[in-house]
Structure 1
Amino acid sequence: MDGNGALFGTLQGNTREVLHKFTVDLPKKHGRGGQSALRFARLRMEKRHNYVRKVAEVATTLFITNDKPNIAGIILAGSADFKTELSQSDMFDP
């Protein structure tokens, strides 16, 4: 997962399979100041939070069946800040 989207897949031996993929258009940091700077920052953080929540929900639907994980482990890859936010989130319990 990164600022452009997320990809979910499985890996068995040398075989990999893509289960789900989606893209997202998150706002980048901006250099504008003034009265709207806090509003832009708040909207950016809200969209990031919604993205992390969507990733956690999709991972739960793909990798958990009948309240039990259907995988042996999970690998989080991508941008460090997104991985940290997802792994420390209460929405996602690895």
Structure 2
Amino acid sequence: MDGNGALFGTLQGNTREVLHKFTVDLPKKHGRGGQSALRFARLRMEKRHNYVRKVAEVATTLFITNDKPNIAGIILAGSADFKTELSQSDMFD
């Protein structure tokens, strides 16, 4: 999971399988200032939050069946800020 997209897969022994992959076009930090700076920052954070929510929803549909996890554990990899936001959110509860 990073600013370009997310990849979901399983790992059993030496075998890995990609279950789902999607890309996203998140806005980067901007250099625009003035009165629109807060609006641009707010829109950027809103799109990042929606992306994290989508990742959590896809992970829930792939790895949870009948309200029970069908995996032994989960590995979050990628950009630190996205991983932190996802792991500390209540979307996986």
Q: TM-score with structure 2 length normalisation?
A: 0.99
Deviation at 1:89, TM superposition (A): 0.6
- Paired residues, what number? 93
Consecutive unaligned residues of structure 2, counting only runs of 5 or more, are none
Aligned to 1:63: 63
Aligned to 2:9: 9
Deviation at 1:79, TM superposition (A): 0.1
Consecutive unaligned residues of structure 1, counting only runs of 5 or more, are none
Shift >2 Å, 4+ stretches? none
Taking only the aligned residue pairs, the percentage that are identical comes to 100
Task: Measure the CA separation in 1 of the matches of 2:77 and 2:14.
Answer: 18
Structure 1 or 2: larger helix share?
2
Aligned Cα RMSD in Å?
Answer: 0.5
Task: Measure the CA separation in 2 of the matches of 1:92 and 1:51.
Answer: 14
After superposition, give the CA deviation of every residue in 1:14-72 in whole Å (9 maximum; x if it has no partner). Answer: 00000000000000000111000000000000000000000000000000000000000
Task: Measure the CA separation in 2 of the matches of 1:88 and 1:58.
Answer: 17
Task: Measure the CA separation in 1 of the matches of 2:41 and 2:75.
Answer: 30
Task: Measure the CA separation in 2 of the matches of 1:80 and 1:50.
Answer: 17
Alignment of 1:34 onto 2:34 = yes
Which moved further from structure 2: 52-61 or 84-93?
Answer: 84-93
Q: TM-score with structure 1 length normalisation?
A: 0.98
